[in-house]
């Protein structure tokens, strides 16, 4: 569905990075934003920025790994704005390193936030959207959910799960007039590096350099994502490199994983020192 004028949106992970950029893009549309984040102070800063930009906003604390806290967002949106037109499941973290070396506690942590957090958001808001006759879901995944890069298994697995969930819901919810979009960006500057658990600090350095060099940054990604929601696109790929790599993978999947992708990331690491 196309978003209405002055859309009412719930944004998780709204305290910074892409979550804040999405909230500010909604403010450009004179939107009403429930800015949810595990860090309430950060969510309040985003809410203030939305109000300064011409929108309305309320900040709430929410740990998306806890279903009860996500379910309360439906009530909060109802109290603040009379309901919601859009849920943006954005909260996310990262874990990197070789599969055999990553602690199981890190797997539990990332699955709880990146995957179950999105499941919780969809599960909480779908009944609300059905009751009001429609709505929109924007799930923030990553190109890693389509391409599954080396040394990033927990991140890849959770983001691939978000893609699979979104594909399933797209088919499931057509008759209910609930649109589903999954956002799959590559590198851009965000706070996720600070929320990364890694077995190799050098990987964080490489990621920071790639993020800084990206031509398409958070405000562009946010704009692309909401435009995709407006036109009912299932896949939103704001970066050309991710789009081309995804096409290449589909053309020759075995060669892609056995030869091309390892070579590609080896060259990137070498260039970044």
- pLDDT per position as a tens digit, 127-139: 999 999 999 999 9
Confidence grade of residue 262 (pLDDT, cut at 50, 70, 90)? confident
Average pLDDT over residues 50-55: 97
- Quick check: is 257 catalytic? no
Q: Where are the domains of the chain?
A: 8-241
- pLDDT of residue 203 exceeding 80, the answer is no
Check residues 273 and 259 and name the one with the higher pLDDT. 259
| pLDDT for position 150 | 87
- pLDDT of residue 244 exceeding 90, the answer is no
Confidence grade of residue 201 (pLDDT, cut at 50, 70, 90)? low
The DSSP bridge partners found for residue 182 are 139, 235
- The pLDDT tens digits for 145-161 are 999 888 899 999 999 99
Q: Which of 155, 187, 188, 256 is catalytic?
A: 155
DSSP per residue, 159-197 = HHHHHHHHHHHHHHTGGGTEEEEEE-------STTTTEE
The DSSP bridge partners found for residue 97 are 152
Q: Where are the beta strands (DSSP E) in 48-105?
A: 56-61, 86-89, 94-96
Q: Is the dihedral of CA 107, 96, 139, 74 positive or negative?
A: positive
Average pLDDT over residues 87-114: 96
- pLDDT of residue 205 exceeding 70, the answer is no
Percent of the chain with pLDDT over 70: 86
CATH number of 8-241: 3.40.50.720
d(Cα 201, Cα 223) in Å, to the nearest integer? 32
Whole-structure pTM over 0.75, yes or no? yes
Of 29-43, 147-161, 202-216, the poorest mean pLDDT is in 202-216
Average pLDDT over residues 110-121: 98
| pLDDT for position 259 | 85
């Amino acid at each position: 569905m196309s978003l209405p004028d002055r859309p009412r949106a719930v944004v998780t992970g709204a305290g910074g990075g892409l979550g804040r950029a999405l909230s500010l893009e909604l403010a450009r549309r004179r939107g009403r934003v429930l800015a949810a984040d595990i860090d309430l102070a950060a969510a309040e800063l985003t809410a203030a920025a939305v109000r300064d930009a011409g929108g309305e906003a309320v900040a709430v604390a929410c740990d998306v790994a806890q279903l009860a806290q996500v379910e309360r967002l439906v009530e909060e949106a109802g109290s603040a704005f009379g309901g919601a037109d859009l849920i943006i499941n954005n909260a996310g973290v990262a874990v990197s390193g070789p599969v055999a070396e990553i602690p199981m506690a890190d797997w539990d942590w990332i699955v709880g936030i990146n995957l179950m957090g999105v499941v919780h958001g969809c599960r909480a808001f779908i009944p609300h959207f059905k009751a009001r006759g429609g709505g929109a879901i924007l799930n923030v995944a990553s190109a890693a959910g389509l391409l599954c890069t080396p040394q990033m298994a927990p991140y890849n697995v959770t983001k691939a799960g978000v893609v699979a969930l979104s594909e399933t819901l797209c088919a499931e919810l057509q008759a209910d007039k609930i649109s589903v979009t999954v956002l799959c960006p590559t590198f851009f500057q965000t706070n996720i590096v600070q929320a990364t658990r890694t077995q190799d600090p050098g990987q964080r350095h490489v990621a920071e350099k790639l993020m800084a060099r990206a031509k398409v940054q958070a405000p562009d990604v946010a704009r692309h994502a909401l435009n995709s929601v407006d036109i009912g696109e299932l896949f939103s790929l704001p970066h050309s490199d991710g789009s081309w790599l995804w096409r290449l993978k589909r053309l020759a999947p075995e060669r892609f994983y056995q030869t091309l992708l390892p070579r590609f990331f080896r060259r990137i690491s070498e260039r970044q020192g």
